[in-house]
Structure 1
Amino acid sequence: MKNFIFTFCLLLPIVAFGQFNLKIKIVDDAEKTGIPSVSYKLFSVETSKSVNAGFSSIDGDISVSNLSAGAYTLSFTSVGYDSLSLKIKIDQASLDLGTVSMKPSLRLMREVEVRANADRVTMKGDTTQFNADAYKVNPDATADDLIRKMPTLTVENGVVKAQGENVKRVLIDGKEFFGTDPSLALKNLPAEIIQKIEVFDRLSDQAQLSGFDDGNSEKTINIVTKSGKTNGEFGKLYAGMGTNDRYAAGGNVNNFKGERKISLIGISNNINQQNFGSEDLLGALGSGSSQRGGGGGRSGGGGRPQGGGNSTDPSNFMVSSQGGITKTSALGFNYIDKWSEKLQVSVSYFFNKMNNYSQDSSMRTTFTGVNSEQYYGENSFQSNTNYNHRINSRFTYEIDKNNSIIFSPNISLQGNTKATNLAGITSLDTSDTLNTIDSDQASKKNGYNLSGNLSFRHRFEKRGRSFSIGVGVNNLSNLGSGSLVSKNQTFLPTLRSSLVDQISADTTINTGYNVKVDYNEPISENSVLNFSYTGNFSFNKAEKQTLAYDKVTADYDILNTVLSNSFLNNYNTNAAGIGYRFSKDRKYFITANLNFQNAELDSKQTFPIENIINRSFFNVLPFVSFNYRPSRNKSLRLIYRSSSRAPSINQLQNVVNNTNPIQLSTGNPDLDQSVSNLITVRFNNTNTEKGSSFFTFFSSELVQNNISTSIFTASKDSIFRGILLAKGSQLSLPNNYGNTLSLRTLSTYGFPAKIIKSNINLSGGYTYTQTPTLINGIENLSRNNSLTSGIVLGSNISKNVDFTVSYTGSYNIVKNTVNQNLNNNYYSQLVSLKLNLLTPKGLLLNTEGVNTVFNSIGSDFDQVYTLVNLSLGQKFMKNQRAEIKVTAFDIFKQNKSISRVINASYIEDTRSLVLTRYFLATFTYNIRNFR
């Protein structure tokens, strides 16, 4: 009896809390060796629902814990093996099934190929899956080459897009891969290891834990690797030398062993091949790059022909930017592992150093009023050095079946030095010169960004009841110094010369904290209530000190109070919300949230004069998400979201930027918040039998009380905050004025053309934007209508014959209510061809050509040019792992960087220095060692 009581006491906690464990080893029936990455699913016989799923380890081991007693069905699937199913009963603390054999599949390869073609694209909930085997590429192709053939996936100016939206992350087998740099990840994974490409909207960590969509999802690509390709080493190494002292070297080495995945990459070249994201570009984008909501730039609707050019658009800095000549050295490391059954980890480190030299010549026509205009021409030379260290990490800890933690710390260190020489002239026409400028500027910036997010979730025993909390912190610090020597002349009404000789130092510190608490309470079998609290607290400090040169003391000791400033800005929001979620039959999913938000904006200027501004805002911010899945291959999703936007400290800071004394800018401490209302509709339809995919997308955004740009052009000598605005000079500052409206739609249709053994992707879209701008106190509405179309023809003949032909074209109509001289119709198109041929003996031919056309209707700004690269090479060594080739870049020497920017106040044409024809001989060795 004592033994019985003792045993009963030991088993009671296990029975009460369901702490049963299951172990099993999957082996090959013939070789009796463990099979890695076998997919298993555990179903409850009583409820017919899945209670656990996963993959076997590198040795074929499967371990499942925290199970309840009962009867189960255990199924196994793996590529190349027949499926297997077992019925088991768990009634003891630990059940070890020993080894279970799976037999190799005897299906013919032809049958496998037919099935691959039929299932080239499928849908799994809101996830679109593309079968990699249905899209043939050359043996050395990367994941980047592969996705370009898939419908709804594109790479534009180095930016990876899926379903019309920028891809924020790339996962490999569900794990983080190289942080938030999709292009870096895709360019360093070989296509041959990929089984599937999955595209979906990844919820934020907090939303994943709470189960309620908070509207902060990110477009994500998940790369599912093939069975047998997760154990071994692969990658490539290359080095090349060329004419004009051109060189390129680099490579990537990957070591995969089950859950552990280690990747090392590196590049060094002076041929404009770059790999970094916008967060690596401290100082490289100019002083205005950190502002949100400001007008100017390209926001008013304008055109830029493909082909390069310098711009403050971060996408132009991603990969193969053509503005100037760039020398890059970069090194990256990525580590993914499962340290235990409960703890998963991913860490990436990336270093990049960029040296860029550029020359730009531009001509701007500014419309200062109705039938009034002036001209500004500029030549500039710039040398820019930028470096960055970046660490991204993520730790996921499953405490038990009811509790889990996610921790994501990130670190970034940046530095930038820049020297610029600029010569500019403003005139009414070719003879009437208003003013000139000749300046030399140097700047140095250093900064760091520390951030971290910690999330915790607890599931209660009652199904659907849960509690989650997420906290985050972000600390950003930028320290800068600079010097400016500018010689300025004003010619009307009389000749007057002035000299600006100054040094400056600026500091920006941003500290933010956020917390979000969610509690879910089920109210029926199909519906759940959500109660939430969200707090965001931002504390910002900006200081700038400008000292002018004193001829008496021969030192910089004259404080310029107009160009100096000390500014504090705090923006805090507290929001309480209630939400409702309803789902039925896996067809209908409705989520509705209503958030009541109170925001406090406190700004304090302490120098040169004291100024205190306190504002309070109350907003009711709804969020609605409706998902409808009429079948497994169709999906409709509608989202409505309202959110508030606070002005940045750069927009609020009341200090004049006189980097260009005839093109001044300043902030506005009187800015209020703006409110955005966004509606998005998506529809997916796939046909697995035909292998076709259709996707359509629509979005509309209205921003009320928008932070727009106000531009003032001095018609005579004027004084602004103690600074002379010479006749013809311009001043821009942000203002809360008017509403912006944008409409966008995109549709794509992809299908296989069996007759020509190719994949065809068709696309078409329409975009409308309306942007208000104040020009000398007069409102100008700029309206841009843009029609786009495209076609991609990708070969599917064999791995030895690989080609892709694409066309994209757009027709734009720009209308302005006041400055009708800015009205412009223009057409642009880009036709590209990529061809790779490989003979059985290893002789290879690679060619890539791009034809660019830009035609401005009724204007003399037309551009037509063609870029062609050609490579000839030979593969050799065992399995043709090595190759040597000679490449001619820009054979016809037509590379140009001539761009046009059209916005609500001016038209600007810019010509930039670019890399032209050169030859490069390269040796490459491909590493392939799978076990």
Structure 2
Amino acid sequence: MKQLFTLICILFSCYAFAQNNGSVSGRVLQSKDKKPIDYASLAVKNLSDSSMVGAVSTTEDGKFILKGLKPGNYRIFAAFLGLKNTTKDFAVTADKPNADVGDIILEGGAIDLQTVEIKAEVPPIVVKKDTLEFNASSFKVVENAVVEDLLKKLPGVEVDKAGTVKAQGETITKVRVDGKEFFGNDPLLATKNLPADMIDKIQIIDELSDQAQFTGIDDGTRTKIINITTRKDKKNGYFGNTTAGYGSDDRYDINANINHFDQDRKLSVIAQFNNVNKQNFGGGLGGGNGGNNGGRGGITDTKAAGFNYNDTYSDQTEVSVNYFVNKSENLILRNSVTQNFLGDVTTIFNNNQTNNSERLNHRLGFMVDTKIDSLTSLRIQPNISYTNNESLNFSEYTRDYNTYRINGSQTLTNHGTSPSISNNILLRKKFMRRGRTLSLNLNTNINNNDSENYNDNPETRIEGTVATQKRTNQLNDQESESINQNTRLVYTEPLSNTLSFELNYQNGYNHNTSDRFTYNFNPATLQYDLLDQTFSNS
């Protein structure tokens, strides 16, 4: 009886496996030259209940395959930026579980928003000129999921371990919410904190430069960004999420995200506290990636909080303010034993090391874009950042050679500050004649880096009964400053309906200094006041 029950279970398992072992494959090509399309987005919908069953993107040769399909009738949606999206129906049966839809041809020219025909079926993917739009409801995520979890399910979108997002092979540098700035140029603050259930659409946009958007003349500069459109029931009121966890060894993880949206007025507050090596923001220790502890290892204690505010006044002035502060403390303990053989010489290196580091960062961003009159506008966008780094590294080591031994220790102490200021001013003027424009762009960046590095390294060499001591005790003082200013004046004049003349004047100023002073410790004064010319450049 037991054997019969086991056989029945095996048969049912095989049947269940067969039921979900179908697939669809094919290739996506451009209609113009029949070239394969890399990173084309495809989504498959079950026609019986209109549910999404999977999504995939094409490889470099334009091919794709999606597995795990049950027998049934399906529709595949294919899309790529700049081309018209299309669909193909196919079936998976018990006799033919592996469907091949052949070549899917995407024609040039994306959908014109003025002539879109509204249909009952809501496609999971739509191309609208320079925008690839995903319908969030077509891609299921778990409860309490964040934006990043949804992005991982979108075909053609990749999210690495650090949280960096790539769409069609290009890195996303900015995330907007309903077309508005969200914490400046830190996309991780949106992707790792905002709840997925607020999303109506995810839009991947090939955005033109500010100058090209203003003049209507494409200058070839494009940036890949994400715009999140919120659901209607989230455009007004409060929403967000809070999670908290506690485990062994006093490990904790607390996250909070609270939003108050009132049409154009949007306020978001984010907070994070944990000691589990997680950072839901960009810029880890030492300026590394977010999403982890910057690849340093050890244990990182993170505390972070910030807010983002957007509003529009009288349809004339748009204001955006964001502030974010984070503090990260990292502890690493290392113990290593290395043995090297070189001819008759054997070297054994024992090293015990303790690394402590702390990083405090403040970021403040502001933007005001106002219409002076119906033809003139002014945008001012300053940003301020201040970073303070502290570290203490201590190690004890022993080097055993055939005939002698070296015992030593090293203490490395670092203190550094990095203030940074940038500002962009853009004045835009349109004239009565269509296409005639004048714009002035002033861009300023000021960066400073100051650091003091102390190196105390006493060593004792023991050879037989003779002990010889030496000590390196130095201060390395480094200062650097960078000032970059750029002015650009652009005038455009239409010559015909298809031809324009552009006059461009640009002027730049760059100033960079870098000084390094190395001082040896003076036992007489107990100060670091003996300049070492060998390791100094000033």
Aligned to 1:137: 141
Aligned to 1:232: 237
For residue 306 of structure 2, the aligned residue among 328, 332, 340 is 332
Aligned to 1:399: 372
- Ranges in structure 2 where 5+ consecutive residues have no aligned partner: 1-112, 341-346
Aligned to 1:462: 433
1:894-905 matches, cutoff 5 A: none
For residue 479 of structure 1, the aligned residue among 439, 450, 461 is 450
1:217-228 matches, cutoff 5 A: 217-228=222-233
1:583-594 matches, cutoff 5 A: none
Separation of aligned partners in 1, 2:249 and 2:211: 53
- Summarize the Cα distance change of 1:193–1:417 in structure 2 as closer, same or farther, 3 Å threshold: same
Amino acid of the residue matched to residue 355 of structure 2? Q
> How far is the alpha carbon of 1:242 from its aligned partner?
2.1
1:910-929 matches, cutoff 5 A: none
Separation of aligned partners in 2, 1:238 and 1:76: 43
Aligned to 1:175: 180
For residue 356 of structure 2, the aligned residue among 344, 360, 383 is 383
Amino acid of the residue matched to residue 239 of structure 1? A
Amino acid of the residue matched to residue 530 of structure 2? I
Aligned to 2:201: 196
Aligned to 2:389: 416
Deviations 1:583-610 (A, max 9, x none): xxxxxxxxxxxxxxxxxxxxxxxx3xxx
Separation of aligned partners in 2, 1:208 and 1:425: 64
1:47-126 matches, cutoff 5 A: 115-116=121-122, 119-126=123-130
Q: Is 1:560–2:525 an aligned residue pair?
A: no
The percentage of aligned residue pairs carrying the same residue is 34
For residue 476 of structure 2, the aligned residue among 491, 504, 522 is 504
Amino acid of the residue matched to residue 452 of structure 2? S
Deviations 1:283-335 (A, max 9, x none): x26xxxxxxxxxxxxxxxxxxxxxxxxxxxx33x4436561101111111010
- Summarize the Cα distance change of 1:552–1:472 in structure 2 as closer, same or farther, 3 Å threshold: same
Is the contact between residue 456 and residue 471 of structure 2 (CA under 8 Å) also seen in structure 1? yes
For residue 544 of structure 1, the aligned residue among 516, 521, 524 is 516
Separation of aligned partners in 2, 1:336 and 1:259: 7
Separation of aligned partners in 2, 1:268 and 1:178: 19
> How far is the alpha carbon of 1:512 from its aligned partner?
1.5
> How far is the alpha carbon of 1:529 from its aligned partner?
2.6
Classify the secondary structure of the residue corresponding to 1:145.
helix
> How far is the alpha carbon of 1:387 from its aligned partner?
0.6
Deviations 1:854-884 (A, max 9, x none): xxxxxxxxxxxxxxxxxxxxxxxxxxxxxxx
> How far is the alpha carbon of 1:417 from its aligned partner?
0.5
Q: Is 1:265–2:286 an aligned residue pair?
A: no
For residue 276 of structure 1, the aligned residue among 269, 275, 281 is 281
1:832-851 matches, cutoff 5 A: none
Q: 459-468 vs 142-151, which deviates more?
A: 459-468
- Summarize the Cα distance change of 1:330–1:462 in structure 2 as closer, same or farther, 3 Å threshold: same
Classify the secondary structure of the residue corresponding to 1:228.
helix
Amino acid of the residue matched to residue 393 of structure 2? T
> How far is the alpha carbon of 1:434 from its aligned partner?
11
Amino acid of the residue matched to residue 371 of structure 2? E
> How far is the alpha carbon of 1:140 from its aligned partner?
2.3
> How far is the alpha carbon of 1:339 from its aligned partner?
1.7
Q: Is 1:526–2:512 an aligned residue pair?
A: no
> How far is the alpha carbon of 1:125 from its aligned partner?
1.4
Aligned CA-pair RMSD: 3.4
Aligned to 2:131: 127
> How far is the alpha carbon of 1:447 from its aligned partner?
2.4
- Summarize the Cα distance change of 1:552–1:187 in structure 2 as closer, same or farther, 3 Å threshold: closer
Is the contact between residue 205 and residue 455 of structure 1 (CA under 8 Å) also seen in structure 2? no
Amino acid of the residue matched to residue 393 of structure 1? F
Q: 524-533 vs 259-268, which deviates more?
A: 524-533
> How far is the alpha carbon of 1:377 from its aligned partner?
8.8
Deviations 1:828-874 (A, max 9, x none): xxxxxxxxxxxxxxxxxxxxxxxxxxxxxxxxxxxxxxxxxxxxxxx
1:25-36 matches, cutoff 5 A: none
For residue 346 of structure 1, the aligned residue among 315, 320, 324 is 320
Separation of aligned partners in 2, 1:267 and 1:320: 14
Is the contact between residue 130 and residue 207 of structure 2 (CA under 8 Å) also seen in structure 1? no
Amino acid of the residue matched to residue 133 of structure 2? Q
- Summarize the Cα distance change of 1:433–1:219 in structure 2 as closer, same or farther, 3 Å threshold: farther
Separation of aligned partners in 2, 1:556 and 1:140: 55
Separation of aligned partners in 1, 2:339 and 2:443: 46
Amino acid of the residue matched to residue 463 of structure 1? R
> How far is the alpha carbon of 1:426 from its aligned partner?
9.0
Is the contact between residue 276 and residue 352 of structure 1 (CA under 8 Å) also seen in structure 2? no
Separation of aligned partners in 2, 1:216 and 1:358: 43
Is the contact between residue 200 and residue 231 of structure 2 (CA under 8 Å) also seen in structure 1? yes
> How far is the alpha carbon of 1:217 from its aligned partner?
3.7
Is the contact between residue 375 and residue 429 of structure 2 (CA under 8 Å) also seen in structure 1? yes
Classify the secondary structure of the residue corresponding to 2:233.
coil
- Summarize the Cα distance change of 1:490–1:236 in structure 2 as closer, same or farther, 3 Å threshold: same
Separation of aligned partners in 2, 1:495 and 1:207: 73
Q: Larger relative CO (CA 8 A, sep 6+): 1 or 2?
A: 1
Amino acid of the residue matched to residue 524 of structure 1? S
Separation of aligned partners in 2, 1:221 and 1:352: 24
- Summarize the Cα distance change of 1:495–1:152 in structure 2 as closer, same or farther, 3 Å threshold: farther
> How far is the alpha carbon of 1:253 from its aligned partner?
0.7
Amino acid of the residue matched to residue 522 of structure 1? P
> How far is the alpha carbon of 1:451 from its aligned partner?
0.8
Separation of aligned partners in 2, 1:527 and 1:434: 80
How many residues are matched? 415
Is the contact between residue 450 and residue 480 of structure 2 (CA under 8 Å) also seen in structure 1? yes
Is the contact between residue 192 and residue 280 of structure 2 (CA under 8 Å) also seen in structure 1? no
Separation of aligned partners in 2, 1:167 and 1:155: 10
> How far is the alpha carbon of 1:360 from its aligned partner?
4.6
- Summarize the Cα distance change of 1:376–1:152 in structure 2 as closer, same or farther, 3 Å threshold: farther
Separation of aligned partners in 1, 2:293 and 2:458: 36
Aligned to 2:247: 242
Aligned to 2:424: 453
What's the TM-score once normalised by structure 1's chain length?
0.41
> How far is the alpha carbon of 1:364 from its aligned partner?
10
What's the TM-score once normalised by structure 2's chain length?
0.70
> How far is the alpha carbon of 1:437 from its aligned partner?
6.6
- Summarize the Cα distance change of 1:141–1:239 in structure 2 as closer, same or farther, 3 Å threshold: closer
Separation of aligned partners in 1, 2:388 and 2:531: 27
> How far is the alpha carbon of 1:182 from its aligned partner?
1.0
1:857-872 matches, cutoff 5 A: none
For residue 410 of structure 2, the aligned residue among 436, 439, 450 is 439
Deviations 1:614-669 (A, max 9, x none): xxxxxxxxxxxxxxxxxxxxxxxxxxxxxxxxxxxxxxxxxxxxxxxxxxxxxxxx
Deviations 1:737-785 (A, max 9, x none): xxxxxxxxxxxxxxxxxxxxxxxxxxxxxxxxxxxxxxxxxxxxxxxxx
Amino acid of the residue matched to residue 378 of structure 2? I
Q: 377-386 vs 322-331, which deviates more?
A: 377-386
